């Protein structure tokens, strides 16, 4: 049986796919899904993605076991424990805790994908572990790029292309966005950091002074944990 390996380039295009037919991988390289992978690897009990800052704040009353993380347009929202910098997701900070997270793009993509057969989280940090698992599953795979404000961005698409690179010789049928993503990866793969430095989002993030975050998020196979959505929580896939 043939399997489809498709790429949804922005959350705005999710309605074009029957997500029920897919295992979905949500991708928000700078920085939500990189930080989620790192946090789950470092022993966070769970990460709860919520859409709104208010939903996130509501967890404050539930006690000290919850860390509240809120990011909008690349910055920590005032009054929250932290945003989506991976350096906030170290073992010292998150082990044994539940993080409630709202971000501009990543949690939006997650929520729109809710009806998928299964939702997992991808980043360069866990790419090989993720691809090994994906290869062993049955059925179609949809790589959902969180993008930037509902539009296409290069970093998420390039990562989708990197996943396709590891999976493509297994009889998958690629849709046009998947072909494009993989071709872009061919152009960027020898120096991803340099390739992405020309993007508009990279420029935005540089202005926010988070070059170290960017560098961190482009590390390959630093982790092996695969975060999976279980009800409303992201937990470690076992």
Interface residues with a copy of itself (CB under 8 A)? 9-10, 12-13, 16, 148-154, 157, 175-177, 179-180, 183-184, 186-187, 198-201
* Cβ nearer to a copy of itself, comparing 53 with 184: 184
Measured from the CB atom, the residue of 201 and 234 that comes closer to a copy of itself is 201
201 or 213: CB nearest a copy of itself: 201
Q: Which is nearer to a copy of itself, 187 or 220 (CB)?
A: 187
How crowded is residue 128: how many other Cβ atoms within 10 Å of its Cβ?
A: 14
CB of 16 to a copy of itself, least distance (A): 5
Segments of 14-152 assigned E as strands: 22-27, 46-49, 66-72, 75-76, 98-102, 118-122, 140-145
Tell which residue, 143, 146, 74, has the closest CA to residue 109: 146
Task: Residue 62: name the closest of 102, 100, 103 by CA.
Answer: 100
Q: How far apart are CB 208 and a copy of itself at their closest, in Å?
A: 17
DSSP SS3 for 211: helix
Of 64 and 207, nearer to a copy of itself (C-beta) is 207
Smallest gap from residue 5 Cβ to a copy of itself (A)? 12
Q: Which residues contact 202 (CB under 8 A, 6 or more apart)?
A: 30, 155, 196, 214
Shortest distance, position 124 Cβ to a copy of itself, whole Å: 18
> Shortest Cβ distance from residue 8 to a copy of itself (Å)?
9
Indicate the helix (H) or strand (E) that contains 118.
strand 118-122
């Amino acid at each position: 049986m043939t399997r489809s390996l498709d790429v949804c380039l922005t959350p705005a295009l999710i309605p074009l796919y029957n997500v029920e037919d897919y295992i979905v991988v949500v991708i928000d390289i700078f920085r939500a899904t990189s930080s989620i992978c790192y946090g789950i690897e470092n022993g966070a009990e769970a990460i709860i993605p919520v859409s709104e800052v208010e939903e996130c704040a509501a967890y404050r009353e539930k006690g000290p076991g919850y860390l509240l993380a809120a990011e909008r347009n690349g910055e920590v929202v005032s009054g929250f424990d932290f945003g989506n910098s991976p350096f906030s997701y170290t073992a010292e900070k998150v082990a044994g805790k539940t993080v409630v997270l709202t971000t501009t793009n990543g949690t939006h993509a997650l929520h729109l994908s809710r009806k998928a057969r299964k939702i997992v989280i991808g980043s360069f940090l866990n790419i090989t572990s993720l691809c090994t698992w994906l290869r062993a599953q049955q059925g179609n795979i949809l790589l959902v790029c969180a993008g930037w404000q509902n539009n296409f961005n290069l970093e998420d698409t390039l990562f989708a292309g990197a996943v396709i690179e590891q999976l493509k010789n297994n009889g998958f049928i690629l849709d046009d966005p998947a072909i494009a993503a993989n071709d872009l990866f061919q152009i960027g793969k020898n120096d991803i950091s340099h390739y992405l430095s020309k993007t508009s989002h990279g420029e935005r993030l540089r202005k926010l002074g988070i070059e170290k975050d960017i560098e961190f998020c482009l590390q390959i196979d630093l982790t092996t944990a695969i975060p999976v959505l279980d009800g409303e929580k992201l937990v470690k896939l076992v």
